[in-house]
Amino acid sequence: GNSVTQMEGPVTLSEEAFLTINCTYTATGYPSLFWYVQYPGEGLQLLLKATKADDKGSNKGFEATYRKETTSFHLEKGSVQVSDSAVYFCALSDRGAAGNKLTFGGGTRVLVKP
């Protein structure tokens, strides 16, 4: 079956530091890949996505590139802010299957200190 593995947190950074959250996946077929973010007390929000190999998703200064050869989709941001403190989830969707069944990683908590 499908699975997503992401680095465990918490990740603690200072403001303006570089952030990387590793994500690798196992899937049958060719999944679409996503990063979702959950701010305290809120539901998840889609941060970015990529639907095929070598696609780069980007949003709000965050980027992730779909690497089929390494089955990875690492999230990066060059200069984090306190407002980026949240839990980040990597997820995949099997494009060969009907519907919207997402498989999520365990989440990585990021804490950015001023």
Partner 1 sequence: KAGVTQTPRYLIKTRGQQVTLSCSPISGHRSVSWYQQTPGQGLQFLFEYFSETQRNKGNFPGRFSGRQFSNSRSEMNVSTLELGDSALYLCASSPGQAGELFFGEGSRLTVL
Residues that bind partner 1 (CB under 8 A): 32, 34, 36, 41-46, 49, 51, 89, 91, 93, 97-107
- What is the rounded distance in angstroms from the CA atom of residue 84 to the CA atom of residue 86? 6
Rounded alpha-carbon distances, angstroms, from residue 34 to 12, 17, 101, 102: 23, 23, 12, 9
Nearer to partner 1 by Cβ, of 17 and 59: the residue is: 59
- The CB-of-45 to partner 1 minimum distance in angstroms stands at 7
- What is the rounded distance in angstroms from the CA atom of residue 107 to the CA atom of residue 75? 12
User: 10 Å Cβ neighbour count for 59?
Assistant: 14
Nearer to partner 1 by Cβ, of 5 and 85: the residue is: 5
- The CB-of-57 to partner 1 minimum distance in angstroms stands at 11
Beta bridge partners, 102, equal 93
Nearer to partner 1 by Cβ, of 2 and 71: the residue is: 2
- The CB-of-96 to partner 1 minimum distance in angstroms stands at 11
